[in-house]
Structure 1
Amino acid sequence: MACLICASGAVREQLDVGCHPVSTFFLQESNAPERDFRLALGQCEDCGTIQSMEPVPHDALVPPYDWLFAREPEEHLDGVVEQILALPGVNTNSVIGALTSKDDTTVERFRRKGFLNTWRVKLDEDLGVANPAANIETVQKLTTPDRMATIAARRGAADVLIVRHIMEHAEDPRSFIQGIAALVKPGGIVMVEVPDCTTSLRLHDYCMLWEEHSLYLTPETFEPMLSIGGLEPIRTDVYQLPFENSLVQLARKTGTPGPIRKSPAARAQVGLLESYAQAYQPARHTLRASLERFRAERGPIALFGAGHLACAFANYMGVADLIDFVADDTPQKQGKFLPGGRLPILPSAALVDKGINLALLALSINNEDAVIARNEAFVHAGGTFRSIFRASPRSVFAGGL
C-alpha cells in the first residue's frame, strides 16, 4: 500500500491481530451478527510512520448509539494556552477556531482570558450531518481543503486553530492536514494534539490498537507531519501521562501544502514496530497460561470497564473465553454484550454477587485507585484488582497472580 503520510510504496506490514468488530457496537443479544474488519499495522521505511494497513471506512465507525463520549486528558491545557498566548501576533482580537467538541474546553480557556471571537466547526451547520451519533469519525472524513476553505470564508479564518485527538483518526491524513491548514490565516497558529504511542510500543501493550486509529505516532514521526499543510513547527511537547502521553505541536502557517518534510529522526524510528510485532504471540501465550492457571486454582475472572480497551484486551489477546463478564456502571451499557467476545456487561455489584476473584481493570490508569475505593466490598470479599495495561503498577503482565 501507499504510505498514508508520504505516499511512498515502502510500507511493510508487520503485525496482524486478526478480524474484529467495531468496539462501540455493543450487542443487544449475545448471538447478534457482527461485521468484522482486519486490523493490521505496518511501518513506512521511508518516513517512519506506523499506520493501519486497512483503515476502517468512516461510515462503518458511526456508532449505533448517541450516548457514547470520550474523555481526553486536560491537565496540561492551561500550560498550552499560556504558550500560545506568548506567541507573537496572538491577542484578544485574535479569532480562535476549533474543529470538534474535544476542543471546547481549550476554547473556553481562551474565552476566560478575554478572547471572545471564537467558533467551532459544527457537524450540522457546517458539514451537513444530521445523525446525532456521528462524531469525530465523520468530521475527519469531511475535513478536506475545499470544504474547510468554504467554512473559513463563512466563519472567518482562524488566527489560532485547536485540533485535539482527531488527526490519528484520519483515513486520508494528507487531505486532513491540508484541510485544517485551510481554516487558518497565513501566519496563523495551529495547535494539534495526538496520543504518543511510544510507551505502548516499547512495553508491547497491544491495547494500543484501535480500529478507529489510522496513525500510531511517536514524537519523532509526529514532528514533521504538519509540513504537509504548509505549517512550520514552533514547538513539539510531550506531556507525561500514566498510560499514554500526549503530543502537542504548535505550528505556524508559513507556506503552502506539499509533501512531508523528510526527517532523519523519524526515519530512525524504523524497527520499532518490528520488535513490537515479534513480541505479540509470546505475550498472548504467556497471558493465557497465567489466566488459565488463575481460573483453575482460584476462580472466575471479570473485566472492569466496557470500552474499546477491554475489547482490545479480550479480543486481540485471545482470552475472552476465560472471562465471565465485564463490569461497568454506565447504565446504557448494562444488559448489552461486548463486541467480539460477546461478554455480558453487568453492574459492578456483580463482582461480589457472582463470586469473581480477579477483576482486570480496563480503564484509565489515573482512575484505578478511585475505582478500587468504590468497590471495596469486592476487595473485602477476597477479590483482587489487576490492570490490563503494562504501564500500570498493577499490571496483570507483571506476574504474581
Structure 2
Amino acid sequence: MKCRFCAAPLHYVFLDLGTAPPSNAFLRAGDLDAAEAWFPLKLHVCGQCHLVQVDEVQRHDALFSGDYVYFSSYSRSWLDHAEHYVSKAVDILGLGPGSLVMEIASNDGYLLQYIQARGIPCFGIEPTASTAKAAREVGIETHELFFGRNSALELTVSRGKSNLIIANNVLAHVPDINDFVAGLATALAPGGTITLEFPHLLQLVAQRQFDTVYHEHFSYLSFHTTQHILAAHGLRIWDVEELPTHGGSLRLWACHSEATHGETPAVAALLETERTRGMLEMSYYQGLQPLANAIKNDFLRFLLDCKRAGKHVAGYGAAAKGNTLLNYAGVRPDLLDYVADASPHKQGRYLPGSRIPVVAEARIRETRPDFVVILPWNLREEITGQLAYISGWGGKFVTAIPHLEVS
C-alpha cells in the first residue's frame, strides 16, 4: 500500500477499528435477511508527508451511490453556517452578477441557494443522484458527476473558469487526491479563489474523535500536509480560519501560486501551532488507539449498566460518526432501542451493521427514554435545545466523545 499523495510506502498504522460496513449504507426492511459487506477500517500515516489515510477497500462510486441518504438541509446549524460563509465570501471577494461560482459536493443545494439568491451565477457538482435531484428541484443547476482533472477540463469548456470554487467537506472524501486538486487548479480563474473546509486532524487527535473515521473519509488532513498537496498542483493558501464545525475544522482560502492575493499572518501562525504540537514528528501519530478503546469500553459499560438497571436508552442523530462508534462497540438494538433522526430519508431504515431502527423524533415523546445518546456530538447544542423537553420526565443526554458525559 502506498500513500495516495506522495506514493511513499505506508509502514505505520494510525488507528485500527477492526471491520465495519460503510457508514452511510443504511438498510431497508427487506435487507435485514441478507448479509452486509464489512470492510477493514484501518488508518495508516505516511512517514514522508504525514497524510493519514484509509485504503480504498470499496470503490468510491459504491460509497456515494444513487441511494445516498445524507441531505445537508436537515441541519439548521449547517444551513446557518453556509449562509454566514456566503455572506463573508461575497464581501471579501467582491462577487457579483459577472462572477461564476462552482461548488463541489453541493449535496441538495443547501449552500448554493444563498449564492443564487444574490443573483450570482452558480452551479453544483454532486455525484449522488438522490441529493442532486433534490438540488435541481429547488432550481440549482447541478452536474451529476465525480470531480477531477478531466471533468474540470470539460466544465471549463462549457461553463468557463470559476471565480470561486467551494469544496466543503469533500477533500477528505476523494480517493485520488492528486486528480481532485489538479481539477481545482484547472477550473479556477486566474485571479480566483478556492475555499476548502475539512475536519482538522489536530482536533481529531486532541479530542479523541475516532468516530469521524469511516470508509467515506479517505484522508485525514493537517494544515501542513494540505499545504504541500495544494502546492504540488500550483496552488497557494493565502488565508486559513479555524472553525468549530465537525468538532474543529479548517477553512482554507487558496489561489494560483502566481496570483497576487496577500498571505495573512494566520497561515504562518497555524503552521507554527502544528509544529509545536508535534505534528511533524511520527511520535504524534501514536497513542490514539488506547484512547479510542477506553472510550468504546466506557460507552459499552454505560449501556450494559442501564440494561441491568432496567433503564430505557434511545439515540438521536443517525450520523455516520455514530455508526462508527456503535459498530466498534458492538452495540445492537438490545442496548439501544432506536435512533431518532430529523431526515425522512433515513426514517424507516436501519443503521448499517448494528441494524438499529431509525425513527422520527415523535418516538422520543411516545416512549420517554431515561437517556438519549447524542451520536452527532458536534451538534450537541442544537440537539439539546431541540429535545429540551425530555427533562420533563427526568430524561438525560449522553455523549461518548471525547469522554462519557451524562447531563
When normalised by structure 2's length, the TM-score is: 0.79
1:259 equivalent in structure 2: none
Query: RMSD value over aligned CA atoms?
Result: 3.3
1:244 equivalent in structure 2: 247
Amino acid at match of 2:357: P
Quick one: which of 279, 288, 311 aligns to 1:299?
Answer: 311
2:177 equivalent in structure 1: 173
Identity, % of aligned positions = 22
The count of aligned residue pairs is 372
Cα 1:140–1:46 shift into 2, 3 Å: farther
Cα 1:220–1:83 shift into 2, 3 Å: farther
What is the Cα deviation at residue 144 of structure 1?
2.4
Alignment of 1:2-401 (within 5 A): 2-29=2-29, 30-54=32-56, 56-63=58-65, 65=67, 68-71=70-73, 72=78, 73-74=81-82, 75-85=84-94, 93-101=98-106, 116=120, 118-122=121-125, 131-132=129-130, 142-241=146-245, 243-254=246-257, 268=280, 270-320=282-332, 321-351=334-364, 353-354=366-367, 356-363=369-376, 364-373=379-388, 376=389, 378-390=390-402, 397-398=404-405
Partners of 1:231 and 1:254 within 8 A in 2: yes
Describe the SS at the equivalent of 1:224.
helix
Whole-angstrom CA distance in 2 between matches of 1:55 and 1:222: 23
What is the Cα deviation at residue 354 of structure 1?
4.0
Whole-angstrom CA distance in 1 between matches of 2:24 and 2:238: 36
Cα 1:140–1:163 shift into 2, 3 Å: farther
Whole-angstrom CA distance in 1 between matches of 2:227 and 2:300: 38
Greater per-residue helix proportion: 2
Partners of 1:100 and 1:121 within 8 A in 2: yes
Partners of 2:107 and 2:131 within 8 A in 1: no
Describe the SS at the equivalent of 1:142.
coil
Q: Deviations over 1:91-113 (max 9, x none)?
A: 76443333342595665655666
Whole-angstrom CA distance in 1 between matches of 2:341 and 2:115: 35
Describe the SS at the equivalent of 1:343.
coil
Describe the SS at the equivalent of 2:49.
coil
Describe the SS at the equivalent of 1:229.
coil
Partners of 1:237 and 1:248 within 8 A in 2: yes
Partners of 2:349 and 2:357 within 8 A in 1: yes
What is the Cα deviation at residue 171 of structure 1?
0.6
When normalised by structure 1's length, the TM-score is: 0.80
Whole-angstrom CA distance in 1 between matches of 2:192 and 2:363: 53
1:126 equivalent in structure 2: none
Describe the SS at the equivalent of 1:322.
coil
Cα 1:107–1:10 shift into 2, 3 Å: same
Cα 1:38–1:189 shift into 2, 3 Å: same
Cα 1:132–1:61 shift into 2, 3 Å: same
Whole-angstrom CA distance in 1 between matches of 2:110 and 2:87: 10
Whole-angstrom CA distance in 1 between matches of 2:60 and 2:161: 27
Describe the SS at the equivalent of 2:189.
strand
Describe the SS at the equivalent of 1:335.
coil
Task: Point out where structure 1 has 5 or more consecutive residues left out of the alignment.
Answer: 124-128, 257-262
What is the Cα deviation at residue 130 of structure 1?
9.3
Amino acid at match of 1:245: G
